[in-house]
Amino acid sequence: MKRACFKCRGRLEPITYGGVEVNRCDHCAGIWFDSLEADLLKNIQGSESLDIGDPETGQQYDQTPGNLSCPRCNHRLIRMVDIDEHSIWYEKCPRCQGVWLDAGEFKKFKANFQPKSLGQFARKILGHKARDSG
């Protein structure tokens, strides 16, 4: 995929991690994941090292207004929000299911899917029960 970044017109460079190829912008460091690649990579240990960008730069580009088109199929991207431990706004292509994450967002995306510790979970449940009966 030899495409310009749709956010900053930098160049999207192919990078492979754990056998999965993604495309990272050489300027704003946003990352394009083809369908399911973000899901695959979030389960691979150390994959957050792909996300080398400065989160502040990412935030700046996160607010890019206007209609963005998919670097792979040119379909119009839609804005998605993932609210968990970290809330992330990202772009997704409804046609090819590709996902764009700005610099710093893949780390947060990955953190959202880390298994919560069982102890924490149990305390939460017990805490609620105690309040209900008290």
Interacting residues toward Zn ion by CB under 5 A: 5, 7-8, 10, 25, 27-28, 70, 72-73, 75, 93, 95-96, 98
Closer residue to Zn ion, CB minimum distance, 12 or 41: 12
Closest contact distance (angstroms) between CB of 105 and Zn ion is 13
Q: Distances in Å between the alpha carbon of 6 and those of 11, 14, 44, 82? A: 9, 15, 27, 21
Closest contact distance (angstroms) between CB of 39 and Zn ion is 16
Contact 21, 14 (CB under 8 A): yes
H-run or E-run covering 82:
strand 78-83
Closer residue to Zn ion, CB minimum distance, 75 or 79: 75
Instruction: Name residue, tokens 């309040």.
Output: 131
Closer residue to Zn ion, CB minimum distance, 3 or 42: 3
Closest contact distance (angstroms) between CB of 64 and Zn ion is 10
Closest contact distance (angstroms) between CB of 76 and Zn ion is 9
Give the E-state strand segments of the chain in sequence order.
12-17, 20-25, 31-33, 78-83, 87-92, 99-101
